[in-house]
């Protein structure tokens, strides 16, 4: 229930605020994915269903159905695969795989969108959005995950 509220709030912040702040919208910091990765870190494989739901919801707000569904699921899936291989838990076992899958998701989204559309994009803003995601990951870890471990 608690997670459901956080999930909905993140979804709304993502589409109402973040995706309108960045152009093109898909390079915006993916707050929902950060929340999904946190869930995956705490609850394990069950988080993949939340990822499917989140991806599907995000897709329904855009004209590119399938993009978020595939990439959110892939990101959480890869994160879980990497995270299950690790023997202990600390900031880096969460931060490094999460940052990598977030970057991978951004790059894949970019290549997929470029394969269909042509648009201008600033690499500086692209990197900035990724750094914001890393800061969000660190924040979530220290404010929530560390206490729940």
Partner 1 sequence: MTGKRFHTISLLVIVFGLLLFFTEFSRFSYVREITKFVNTLIAPFLEFKDQTIRELQEELRAYLHFVDTEKENIKLRRRLNSLMLTEKELQACLAELENLGRQMNVSSHFEKLSYKVSRIIYYDPSGFDLFVVIEGGKDKGFKEGDLVVTESYVVGVVETVFTSTSRVITPFNENFSCTAVVGTSLRKYIYRGGYPLGNLLHVKLEDKVEVGSEVFMVDVRGKLPPFLIGKIEEVKRGKDPFFKEVKVKPKVDPRSEELVYIIRRSP
Catalog residues that contact partner 1 under the rule CB under 8 A: 12, 15-17, 20, 45-46, 48, 52, 55, 57, 59-71, 73-74, 76-77, 80, 112, 116
Cβ nearer to partner 1, comparing 74 with 138:
74
Q: How far apart are CA 25 and CA 14, in angstroms?
A: 10
Nearer to partner 1 (CB atom), residue 48 or residue 136: 48
The nearest distance, CB 91 to partner 1, in angstroms, is: 26
Q: Within a 13 Å sphere around the CA of 62, how many CA atoms are in the beta-carbon half?
A: 21
- Which CB atom, from 46 or from 139, has the smaller least distance to partner 1? 46
Give the shortest CB-137-to-partner 1 separation in angstroms.
21
Cβ-Cβ contacts under 8 Å for 19 (sequence gap 6 or more)? 25, 26, 28
């Amino acid at each position: 229930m608690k997670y459901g509220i956080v999930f909905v709030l993140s979804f709304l912040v993502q589409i109402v605020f973040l995706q309108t702040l960045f152009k093109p919208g898909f390079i915006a910091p993916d707050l929902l994915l950060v929340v999904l990765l946190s869930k995956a870190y705490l609850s394990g494989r069950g988080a993949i269903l939340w990822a499917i739901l989140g991806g599907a919801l995000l897709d329904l707000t855009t004209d590119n159905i399938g993009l978020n569904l595939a990439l959110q699921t892939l990101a959480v899936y890869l994160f879980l695969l990497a995270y299950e291989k690790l023997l202990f838990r600390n900031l880096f076992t969460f931060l490094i795989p999460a940052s990598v899958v977030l970057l991978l998701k951004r790059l894949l989204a970019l290549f997929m969108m470029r394969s269909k559309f042509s648009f201008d994009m600033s690499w500086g803003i692209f990197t900035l959005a990724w750094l914001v995601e890393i800061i969000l990951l660190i924040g979530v870890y220290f404010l929530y995950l560390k206490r729940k471990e």
